[in-house]
Amino acid sequence: MNTYAEECFAEIKAKNPGEPEFHQAVHEVFKSVSPVLEKRPIYRKMKILERLAIPERTIIFRVPWVDDKGDVRVNTGYRVEMNSAIGPYKGGLRFHSSVYLGLLKFLAFEQTFKNSLTTLPMGGGKGGSDFDPHGKSTMEVMKFCQSFMIELSRHIGQFTDVPAGDIGVGGREIGYMFGQYKRLKNEFSGVLTGKGVKWGGSFIRPEATGYGCAYFASEMLATVGQSLAGKTCLISGAGNVAQFMVQKLIQEGAKVVTLSDSSGHIYDEEGINEEKLEFVLELKNGFRGRISEYAKQYPHAVYTPFDPNLGYNKIWDHKADCAFPCATQNEINAVDAANMVKNGVKLVAEGSNMSTVPEGVDIFEDSGILFAPGKASNAGGVATSGLEMTQNSQRIMWTREDVDKHLRIIMKNIHASCLSAAEAYGSPGNYVVGANIHGFTKVADAMCDQGIV
Ligand code: NDP
């Protein structure tokens, strides 16, 4: 790491104690962009790193609501408005019991570079709450969303900050929050993305992260003269990203053998086909059930509960060609990474954000497999959110085919930009370095152009 980056990282670590995910994300970016900092001393003069790591604004608020028994519940709500150098703040809302400020700072920091990679005019932001939607009734979820939006509505707007979904926030939650925003502001605007297609949403937005990740993986495989057809694939998670990742991989002729949730994973040696995927969609989006039900419905599949004391996750210990983590951050540790390499995995493309611990990334890089970091390979979701914003501004709706065509082009361009930036700075084929440098440079230059703000 270059001296400026090292000094700056030490200061950020000291000033933001107890935020390991944030430190991890900052360290990775600072390390990757070190050769750029050497070449362009203006970034040090303009204190770009220091400014990038401090959110432009952080909002923390109380979210009181009443559950079905009439008991009062209280959660904490957040919105981290990280960087608006290239556009309004943009990034999802996460509802999960593990949410705290440091987690959202990591996600908002990553989002800034991811959004830059899409080429669309979007700054970086992230928000959410420690509210856990598991086991809550639909009415409870609605009451929480409405209370959350009462405060959030003061800070967001179609030209200011445009949130979307993330873990625990899908079409249902976006609907309740949009309804409340409209009621509070008396305006129908593109203040959120991931809206229903009948009320301002875009075709392909629900599919976009999974589809985009598959398109990115196809581009990676094309560099070694291969395609997804015939590949055996591991996928973790069973939510929005995982579901549409499965769908696209089936369409591309690949065989998906795993899915998971936080309780465990299923292994289906025959592969998940359209009919089985339909069951998963109904199970997860309709009944909000557990993935273990899959093995009851299809008894040839094996369900293995997650064992937190094992030190690794058995989902990554199956023979396969490709792996797509689509659950959460740091879900692949060093043992998992070594297991994947041992089992023949030749490509890992992250659907979740920062899916792999740094030691795991090193293992992938040392073994020479194709590895794409989430900020590049999962950028299709926010890119299509950007296209939803465009359609909202135009007050027209593009066809499914149009949106999908744009998504494919964007993913192809991100792939090409990563490779050319990596090559230009002496790390050919390294998608981590390429994504960080390309995403960073555009934001840093915009910050220089806009002065000390
Ligand atoms: P969902 O809430 O739809 O699904 C999340 C899935 O991951 C569920 O199966 C959930 O299981 C599992 N999961 C969540 N947290 C954990 C955990 N701590 N340990 C193990 N499993 C866990 O979320 P999404 O599919 O939208 O998001 C998945 C990932 O993709 C996240 O990292 C998100 O940041 C990233 N992402 C999402 C985008 C989007 O457009 N939605 C865009 C870009 C990235 P359970 O139900 O048991 O909690």
Query: Among the options 114, 126, 136, 276, which is catalytic?
Result: 126
Q: Is 303 helix (H, G, I), strand (E, B) or coil?
A: strand
Torsion-angle region of residue 119: left (phi > 0), alpha (psi -120 to 50) or beta? Answer: left
Q: What is the pLDDT of residue 452?
A: 96
The tens digit of pLDDT for each residue in 392-418 reads 999 999 999 999 999 999 999 999 999
Q: What is the pTM of this model?
A: 0.98
Does residue 417 form part of some domain? Answer: no
Please report which helix (H) or strand (E) contains residue 179, including its range.
helix 171-185
Q: What is the pLDDT of residue 427?
A: 97
Determine contact, residues 118/382, Cβ cutoff 8 Å.
yes
Nearest CA, atom 48, ligand 1 = 262
Residue 174 shares a structural domain with residue 271: no
Q: How confident is the model at residue 66 (pLDDT cuts 50, 70, 90)?
A: very high
Which residues contact ligand 1 via a Cβ below 6 A?
165-168, 170, 209, 237-242, 261-263, 326-328, 351-353, 378, 381
- Quick one: which atom of ligand 1 is closest to the CA of 164? 40
The strand ranges marked E within 297-391 are 302-305, 322-324, 347-349, 370-372
Q: Which residue has the tokens 């690794």?
A: 312
Q: Residue 287 gets which letter from DSSP?
A: I
Q: Which of 329, 345, 368 is the last residue of a domain?
A: 368
Does residue 290 form part of some domain? Answer: yes
Q: How confident is the model at residue 236 (pLDDT cuts 50, 70, 90)?
A: very high
Q: What is the pLDDT of residue 338?
A: 98
Polymer length of the chain: 453
Tokens representing 67 are 């559950």
The rounded percent of the chain whose pLDDT value lies above 90 is: 100
Q: What is the pLDDT of residue 335?
A: 98
Q: Which of 368, 398, 421 is the last residue of a domain?
A: 368
Average pLDDT for residues 49-69, to the nearest whole number?
98
The tens digit of pLDDT for each residue in 251-274 reads 999 999 999 999 999 999 999 999
Q: Is 31 a catalytic residue?
A: no
Query: What CATH number does residue 118 fall under?
Result: 3.40.50.10860
Residue 178 shares a structural domain with residue 235: no
Does residue 145 form part of some domain? Answer: yes
Domain count, the chain: 3
Q: Residue 199 gets which letter from DSSP?
A: G
CB atoms within 10 A of CB 293: 16
- Quick one: which atom of ligand 1 is closest to the CA of 241? 25
CB atoms within 10 A of CB 263: 11
Average pLDDT for residues 368-380, to the nearest whole number?
98
Q: What is the pLDDT of residue 65?
A: 98
Does residue 440 form part of some domain? Answer: yes
Residue 235 shares a structural domain with residue 337: yes
Residue 31 shares a structural domain with residue 59: no
Residue 110 shares a structural domain with residue 245: no
The rounded percent of the chain whose pLDDT value lies above 70 is: 100
Query: What CATH number does residue 14 fall under?
Result: 1.10.285.10
Average pLDDT for residues 345-368, to the nearest whole number?
98
Q: What is the pLDDT of residue 69?
A: 98
Edge to edge, the sheet with strand 302-305 lists: 258-261, 264-267, 302-305
Separation of CA 241 and ligand 1 centre (Å): 7
C-alpha dist (Å) from residue 166 to 154, 352, 355: 21, 10, 14
Query: CA-to-CA distance for 141 and 183, rounded, in angstroms?
Result: 18
Domain with 264, as residue range(s), is: 208-368
Q: What is the pLDDT of residue 184?
A: 98
Nearest CA, atom 3, ligand 1 = 239
The tens digit of pLDDT for each residue in 208-227 reads 999 999 999 999 999 999 99
Average pLDDT, the chain: 98
Residue 66 shares a structural domain with residue 159: yes
Please report which helix (H) or strand (E) contains residue 65, including its range.
strand 57-66
Which of 80, 126, 162, 241 maximizes ligand 1 atoms within 8 Å of its Cβ, making it the mutation to test the pocket?
241
Residue 329 shares a structural domain with residue 314: yes
Query: What CATH number does residue 291 fall under?
Result: 3.40.50.720
Residue 157 shares a structural domain with residue 240: no
Determine contact, residues 155/161, Cβ cutoff 8 Å.
yes
Q: How confident is the model at residue 41 (pLDDT cuts 50, 70, 90)?
A: very high
Residue 353 shares a structural domain with residue 227: yes
Determine contact, residues 12/53, Cβ cutoff 8 Å.
yes
264-267 vs 302-305, strand pairing mode: antiparallel
Average pLDDT for residues 159-179, to the nearest whole number?
98
Q: What is the pLDDT of residue 98?
A: 98
Residue 302 shares a structural domain with residue 444: no
